[in-house]
A and B are shown apart, each in its own frame.
Chain A
Amino acid sequence: MEHGNESSGCCAHQHPSHDHDRRTGHAHVAGHCHVDVRDTSGSRLLITLGLNLLIPVAQVIGGLHAHSMALISDAAHNFSDFTAVLIAYVANRIGMKGATADNTFGYRRAEILAAVINVLLLLGAGVFIIYMGLHRLHHPEPVLGSWVALIAGIGVVGNGLSAWLLHRDSKHNLNVRGAFLHMLGDLLTSVVVLLNGLVLMSRPWYWLDPVLSILIALFIFKNCWSILKEATRILMNATPSTIDINRVRDYLEKIPGILGVHYLHAWNVSSASVAFSCHLVVPDQHLSRVDHLSTKVRRQLHDRFGIDHPILQFETAACGNGGILCELSCTSADNVPPSVGGKRSSKRTGWFTKQPLKFWARLLLGIIFILASIDKIWHPAPFAEAVYNYQILPDAAVNLTAIILPWVELVLGLLLVSGLLLPGAVLLADLLLVCFFGALIVNIARGLDVHCGCFITSTEGDPATTWYLIRDSSFLILGGYLFYKVLITGRDAPNLKPDTQAQYVVEVND
């Protein structure tokens, strides 16, 4: 039962405003039909489109006249919004086309693409602003404050109007939300530029102009982030944030007449529509009797969980069609195979919650590696000298070592800090530490002072050498501890309990 398709909506009346803030800004309504207000927002978008073409033109003219960096960047920003609103509008209209044979879910995903393109445009504008701002900081120019204030004032009025127009529809339509956030950002930036202009009328603080434009850009980046995250989740067919799939399963299994539920999937078709599929195990019965159960399940899924596109498959066999995932879900109650589990397996092995000592150890070692590598990457020639002074490697290997080794250290440091590829990173890091320590020992033994590359014949304890010994051995101890923890007793994914590793239980019949 497709809701959300304007031409066949189950209700024909308009709701004054949708209160959607149950879980997220665009969670879906429960308890009453979703009415598509996209038609209204379409015309609103058109109005803002027009405004957003006029305002930047005015800003560019004013900005050039007043030598104001902030005005010009605001203009660039606004113009990118013109294109953004245009895209939003087009995506809106595309999304209103219904399902076709080629696109059985309709075109509603177009709005996600629109949101992503919106964000990319904003990012581009932001980068441009920052670049120009930095340039201006180095080459300051006087700014005519009064002009800036005037033009910015116009911008405030215009953007405020646009933002207000889009505000109502932004809460349940990701596409419009993207455009709305643009407008909001515009409004804020215009206000800031206005203040900037007012200040510059009385004081010659010309650096204020580029500084503000850079801050504006950073603010824009921040706004982009949440939109990008949400759009990515939808594009990845991730489980909608409003759905806890385990709860859905638990609820369904409690319905009388249903013996089991497995192979659950849930995803957003668009920001306002949730699709869901599962296998329901029922006792063998006439199919007509299942209809009643089916209607009930659909209704419950819609009312309780906001799922408007459910696909239910009824089965009688204890484990569905015998596919491997069905097997796993039947053999162990604890087992959470990927298609059922709501667990988000963390890529970060033991990030802070488990094994804090190991976490801090790898963080510390990682930071040490990163810090050690930076100067060597920045100044390879002195490092090459140092490598040569160690007199351990053949001359031909000195430069290559000086080029490659610091980068290996940097990458290892980053891997250790982030916890990625931990077994390999720990192994390689320990190998390096052993080599460094070994090199130090060798040179102490033969009396070589690596700083000058010259031999010290006296055997008195050189304080610098002692310090290096202590330092390198502590690193080695740190590395050894991590080696033990990660490679000897470690697990690949500590979030899973050991006996829920994918085990294949094979029944062997004599």
Chain B
Amino acid sequence: MEEKNHKPLLEATEIHKSFFYPSKISILKGINLKVHVGESVAIIGRSGEGKSTLLQIIGTLEQPCQGTLEICGQLVTSHNQTTIRNQSIGFVFQSFHLLEDFTALENVLMPARIARKATGSGCEATERGLFLLEKVGLADRAHFHTKLLSGGEKQRVAIARALCNDPSILFADEPSGNLDSTTSASIHELLFKFVQEEGKALVLVTHDRELARLCSTQYELKNGILCS
């Protein structure tokens, strides 16, 4: 609880989001959220409540209609959002979203390459990529094309990729939604292990209450308002 006294890694203030087509519908009605170092936050709610929209807004992929967002002490603007996405944020999606033309290692190293880091053999970024793949138990699959991997393996690669640039916050949108229960459990374990070991913050969107209970903080999105 001591950490919560420090400046939060993520601070969303009065986030509003409405969609105007085919008719106006307000999804988020003044969301306030703070996430601190080492904290794992679960956002639960029924389908269509706007969980994923909230995640994409706090993950800088979507613009809110109103409200401000600060990540790692920086106010998110259209000028710095790509840098913040690359340096401070990691995404894990339900559908893995790997680049199919590339190998597992190339996928993991893509954020580093976007950050213009050297990714040749023996480079720091490559070493980290291999280390992460080893951590997720895929050291022997590093040079496999991702289409040859199973669903669980793909999600492990996605987790390793999300951690490549050593971000402060990890966003996960139904990370085990497409996996069986055993694989889901191992993926959950992996995510929490990384948060604890590497001192990250985790924001998790799920409708799985069991998974939510593993997080240090749980919120429920209901009628566009975040409730504890």
Whether chains A and B associate is no
> Which residues of B approach A to under 8 Å, CB–CB?
none
